Chains A and B, each alone.
Chain A
Amino acid sequence: MAHASAEHAHDDHPDQPATGIKRWLFTTNHKDIGTMYLVFSLIMFFIGGAMAMVIRAELFKPGLQLVDPLFYNSMTTNHALVMIFGAVMPAFVGLANWMVPLQIGAPDMALPRMNNFSFWILPFAFTLMILTFFVPGGAAAGGWTLYPPLSIQGGDSFPMVIFAIHMMGISSIMGAINVIVTIVNMRAPGMTLLKMPLFCWTWLITAYLLIAVMPVLAGSVTMLLTDHFFKTSFFNAAGGGDPVMFQHIFWFFGHPEVYIMILPAFGIVSEILPTFSRKPLFGYDSMVYATASIAFLSFIVWAHHMFTVGMPLAAQLFFMLSTMLIAVPTGVKVFNWTATMWRGSLSFEPPMLFAIAFLFLFTIGGFSGVMLAFVPADFQYQDTYFVVAHFHYVLVPGAVFAIMAAVYYWLPKWTGHMYNMTLANWHFWLSTIFVNVLFFPQHFLGLAGMPRRIPDYAVQFADWNMVSSIGAFGFGLSQILFAIVVIQCARGGKKATAQVWDANPRGLEWTLPSPAPYHSFQSVPEVK
């Protein structure tokens, strides 16, 4: 018995990680799970990126040189699914796993076994999705939005993708529950909600969005499944259904989903800008309220993704006005960040560089977003490269740059080593230059009349497409530097101090030694 209980105690609270594969398969430690999420996300980033390279290579010049149009469509479809559900979302969950307990002074996440489960679903979900490339009919090619009736024309890949989406949804919901339970219950004494770091705040709100909308996605794709296999007619007009209803339900998920991918990025930038401006965040309270307002508005703007389906005039006016309203709290955030740098003392370490690039380039994506809100103009922009440019500006130099900023900010805390600053600076400058070469010309292409999701185009679009493709190859290659910096840093390097940055960052995570011990905060920290 004594032996058994010792064993039991050992299982529950190992001071050191287990060795070998078991450490990763059975771990309940938030740091191990966070690491796995981040590594998984990086792998998916390169897989999705490889698909983007195929897309840009085919679009390098007019005419079809490389791939069949159907394969091209499956590239755009899977590029989106992999990047959204495989790269950006898991990266944020990984960052939440690592940083939420460290920032609120908790020993671990509240629900460690569920944490393990929510990660390990993902590799299976994505294996299932990637396998669709090898089934009859090829991978899903109806766009990541899965609009019926087109998506229902899919071959064997159709049910596989839907099951993969179900698994990703379950994983996301469990991750979200874990974040909420942890933040609500495990804050160190003295850390009231309005003293919480903004990264935790934005993640708390994101987690509520996830719980609210992932079931809606699951429901909508399940209806697709029954329409295809069980002869229901939810979206089939011949049976009394309505294909546009799918779009309404999908975007009721889809718009909050957009903010799920950007709110944690707002949190990250709100951590980094004050640190390297050596000045507290300007307007902390209004930042929290602005985040909550954006989250609320995200539920009542969905139809702006589908203005061309032909809605009643009143509905179009409502969705135009509610969409324009989003600019107000988002503007408050941008102004507050600018005011944070104002009269600060700025230094330009890699995380700060990425945060500043985020500030500029995300704002450009915001501008095109405001323009897209005007329904009459949207009748021109809808489904063109102008939209492609818009959402890539908010997702790549927006969300992805924020994730990279976060990695560069906290990597020394995770590994205990400083990374190669020169290489990281190269990574920053190459990424920032090429991302603009890649996406800025797409505004011109869309306005000039090039629709999205086409493998070949009229010759008047040739020049900007070539520029954009050159930008894409440059951006893609630059990301190899990122992988090198991270791998080098995990293997060794100059020892990092507890503070890591000489800018004296605020927050409980910097009171722990670097690397953070396997169990953070064995004793309860004090929050003033």
Chain B
Amino acid sequence: MSGISRRIANRCLAAAGFLAGAAQANTSNGYNLPVGVTDLSVDIHHIHMQGFWWCVAIAVVVFGAMIFSLLKFRKSQGAVPDTTMVHSTKAEIIWTVIPVIILVIMAVPAAATLIKIEDTRNSELSIRVTGYQWKWQYQYMDAAEGVGYFSTLSDDSNEARQLNSGIDPQSVPNYLQSVDKPLVIPSGTKVRLLLTSQDVIHAWWVPDFGMKRDAIPGFVNEMWIRVAAGKEGFYRGQCAELCGRDHGFMPIVVEVKTPDDFKQWVGAQKADAKQAAFDSALHAQTAQVITR
């Protein structure tokens, strides 16, 4: 229990640091949006922080005025009400116009980023992402055409997450955020995801990529990501739209490789696929021979 309370105390200190303007990290620090590793996630984080600081500034003024009133104008300290103060057109115009100006200042970068987000042209690699209850299917197109597989919650997490499994989640590496086969993408490349679903609505979300989009049955949604070169590694997220009983158990893991490593990986996948096709054909032939 002392460990837990120490951790909570640390988090509180860290949160206080955040409010005071703390350093930024590449994955979430536990209380704020991650800056992330794509062009878009960096822009989105900027919009988020800008909005946050405007809110803080407004809060200082408004809460300041409220707290001042609560301290200064107390009946118990003999405050006499100024009952003539019931209306002021000037004040009301000021506090209508100033918020409008602040909103315009905030809206411009948000609109610019949105336009960038929606521009899915000139992608270098497309991947079909299909949601199922409760797993993801990835099918590569373009240069990696033919590579495809399902990605499901890893066995150790799946065992630990059963009701009263007796397994401590803290002992499972990346509990609920690890899969059997991660999505693999190259860094420094504009990757376009084509999202759809085979049953109900899901949503594909990796916080470090800054974006989330719904996978809707019968429709295809688009989003793009370009992970900055040098940011290779594993990134984790999960389904973000309620999709039934095991909604909490369909994680997303993306392994970002350098373009060269990615090419090699694609080659290996294709060879594996060929081998698997050969094996199954051989198996079928053998079976035929045996039955004959």
A residues in contact (CB < 8 Å) with B:
62-65, 67-70, 73, 141-143, 147, 149-150, 153, 236-238, 242-244, 277-286, 308-310, 313, 316-317, 320-321, 324-325, 327-328, 331-332, 334-336, 338-339, 341-347, 356, 359-360, 363-364, 367-368, 370-371, 374-377, 379-380, 382-384, 444, 447-449, 451-460, 462-464, 466-467
Whether A150 and B244, one on each chain, are in contact in the complex, defined by CB atoms closer than 8 angstroms, is: yes
* Cα–Cα, bound, A345→B40 (Å): 51
Listed A/B pairs (10) with beta-carbon separation below 8 Å: A64-B164, A328-B100, A338-B62, A345-B80, A346-B79, A370-B106, A377-B44, A444-B15, A449-B207, A451-B239
Pick the contact of A282 from B74, B85, B111, B246 — CB < 8 Å?
B85
Which of B52-60, B135-143, B182-190, B278-286 is the interface stretch? B52-60
Which residues of B lie under 8 Å from residue A309 when comparing CB positions? 214, 216, 221
A301 CB, min distance to chain B CBs, angstroms: 14
Whether A149 and B201, one on each chain, are in contact in the complex, defined by CB atoms closer than 8 angstroms, is: yes
Which of B25-33, B121-129, B266-274 is the interface stretch? B25-33
Whether B248 and A456, one on each chain, are in contact in the complex, defined by CB atoms closer than 8 angstroms, is: yes
Contacts A153-B200, A244-B216, A377-B47 known; A451 to B240 CB distance under 8 Å?
A: yes
Which residues of A lie under 8 Å from residue B199 when comparing CB positions? 149
Chain B residue at minimal CB-CB distance from A65:
B164
Whether B91 and A339, one on each chain, are in contact in the complex, defined by CB atoms closer than 8 angstroms, is: yes
Whether A343 and B73, one on each chain, are in contact in the complex, defined by CB atoms closer than 8 angstroms, is: yes
B288 in the interface (beta carbon within 8 A): no
Whether B86 and A383, one on each chain, are in contact in the complex, defined by CB atoms closer than 8 angstroms, is: no
Contacts A374-B47, A376-B44 known; A339 to B85 CB distance under 8 Å?
A: yes
Q: Scoring B residues 128 to 157 as 1 if CB is less than 8 Å from chain A, else 0, what string do you get?
A: 000000000000000000000000000000
Whether A371 and B48, one on each chain, are in contact in the complex, defined by CB atoms closer than 8 angstroms, is: yes
Which residues of B lie under 8 Å from residue A356 when comparing CB positions? 66, 70
Interface residue count for B (Cβ, 8 Å)? 102
Which residues of B lie under 8 Å from residue A141 when comparing CB positions? 244-245
Whether B203 and A383, one on each chain, are in contact in the complex, defined by CB atoms closer than 8 angstroms, is: yes
B264 in the interface (beta carbon within 8 A): no
Known: A73-B247, A344-B69, A374-B47. 17 other contacts (CB 8 A): A63-B161, A68-B245, A149-B217, A243-B219, A285-B87, A338-B65, A338-B69, A339-B85, A370-B103, A371-B55, A374-B106, A377-B110, A380-B44, A380-B207, A382-B203, A383-B241, A463-B4
* Cα–Cα, bound, A11→B213 (Å): 61
* Cα–Cα, bound, A382→B162 (Å): 28
* Chain B at the A interface: SS class: mixed
Whether A62 and B175, one on each chain, are in contact in the complex, defined by CB atoms closer than 8 angstroms, is: yes
B1 CB, min distance to chain A CBs, angstroms: 11
Whether A367 and B212, one on each chain, are in contact in the complex, defined by CB atoms closer than 8 angstroms, is: no
Pick the contact of B33 from A285, A321, A380, A464 — CB < 8 Å?
A380
A491 CB, min distance to chain B CBs, angstroms: 31
The CB with the most chain B CB atoms within 10 A, among A338, A379, A384, is that of A379
Pick the contact of B169 from A279, A383, A459 — CB < 8 Å?
A459
A14 CB, min distance to chain B CBs, angstroms: 42
Whether A448 and B28, one on each chain, are in contact in the complex, defined by CB atoms closer than 8 angstroms, is: yes
Q: Scoring B residues 160 to 197 as 1 if CB is less than 8 Å from chain A, else 0, what string do you get?
A: 11111101111000111100000000000000000000
Which residues of A lie under 8 Å from residue B83 when comparing CB positions? 278-280
* Chain A at the B interface: SS class: helix
* Cα–Cα, bound, A242→B220 (Å): 12
Contacts A70-B245, A286-B92, A466-B8 known; A383 to B240 CB distance under 8 Å?
A: yes
Whether B242 and A143, one on each chain, are in contact in the complex, defined by CB atoms closer than 8 angstroms, is: yes
Whether A68 and B8, one on each chain, are in contact in the complex, defined by CB atoms closer than 8 angstroms, is: no
The CB with the most chain B CB atoms within 10 A, among A363, A364, A380, is that of A380
Which residues of A lie under 8 Å from residue B218 when comparing CB positions? 236-238, 242-243
Whether B30 and A444, one on each chain, are in contact in the complex, defined by CB atoms closer than 8 angstroms, is: yes
Which residues of A lie under 8 Å from residue B15 when comparing CB positions? 444
Whether B59 and A363, one on each chain, are in contact in the complex, defined by CB atoms closer than 8 angstroms, is: yes
Which residues of B lie under 8 Å from residue A374 when comparing CB positions? 47-48, 51, 106-107, 110
A461 CB, min distance to chain B CBs, angstroms: 8
Which residues of B lie under 8 Å from residue A453 when comparing CB positions? 242, 247-248
Chain B residue at minimal CB-CB distance from A386:
B33
Which residues of B lie under 8 Å from residue A286 when comparing CB positions? 92
Chain A residue at minimal CB-CB distance from B99:
A331
Whether A316 and B114, one on each chain, are in contact in the complex, defined by CB atoms closer than 8 angstroms, is: yes
Which residues of A lie under 8 Å from residue B221 when comparing CB positions? 309-310
Whether B11 and A454, one on each chain, are in contact in the complex, defined by CB atoms closer than 8 angstroms, is: no
The CB with the most chain B CB atoms within 10 A, among A313, A363, A447, is that of A447
A398 CB, min distance to chain B CBs, angstroms: 16
Which residues of B lie under 8 Å from residue A283 when comparing CB positions? 86-88, 92
* Cα–Cα, bound, A282→B32 (Å): 38
B66 CB, min distance to chain A CBs, angstroms: 5
Contacts A309-B216, A376-B47, A463-B4 known; A457 to B164 CB distance under 8 Å?
A: no
Contacts A313-B115, A343-B82, A451-B238 known; A335 to B245 CB distance under 8 Å?
A: no
B118 in the interface (beta carbon within 8 A): yes
Whether B103 and A324, one on each chain, are in contact in the complex, defined by CB atoms closer than 8 angstroms, is: yes
Whether A63 and B168, one on each chain, are in contact in the complex, defined by CB atoms closer than 8 angstroms, is: yes
A309 CB, min distance to chain B CBs, angstroms: 5
Whether B55 and A370, one on each chain, are in contact in the complex, defined by CB atoms closer than 8 angstroms, is: yes
Whether B212 and A383, one on each chain, are in contact in the complex, defined by CB atoms closer than 8 angstroms, is: yes
Whether A367 and B55, one on each chain, are in contact in the complex, defined by CB atoms closer than 8 angstroms, is: yes
Whether B7 and A463, one on each chain, are in contact in the complex, defined by CB atoms closer than 8 angstroms, is: yes
* Cα–Cα, bound, A347→B66 (Å): 14
* Cα–Cα, bound, A280→B244 (Å): 52
Which residues of B lie under 8 Å from residue A448 when comparing CB positions? 28-32, 207
